[in-house]
Amino acid sequence: MEGCNMAKNVVEKQRKLKKIKQNVQRIVFGKKNQTIVSFETRRLYLLVVVVFFIYLLCSWLVS
């Protein structure tokens, strides 16, 4: 009985983790038909972050 309940708990935890992962992916990447748009926005965010770090590096080197 104990082993059966533990197995059920493990399966339930795996299902919950899978649902959480799917929800996070849905939030990060958007809906399936908007994947291209979200990919472009992620590239834009990455570009902004890279430019910001280059700016910080240059300002640190100048000072």
Query: Cα(17)–Cα(52) distance, rounded to whole angstroms?
Result: 35
Segment 1-13, tens digit of pLDDT = 555 677 778 888 8
pLDDT of residue 43: 83
Integer angstrom CA distances of residue 7 from 11, 21, 36: 6, 21, 40
pTM as predicted: 0.40
Segment 17-27, tens digit of pLDDT = 888 887 777 77
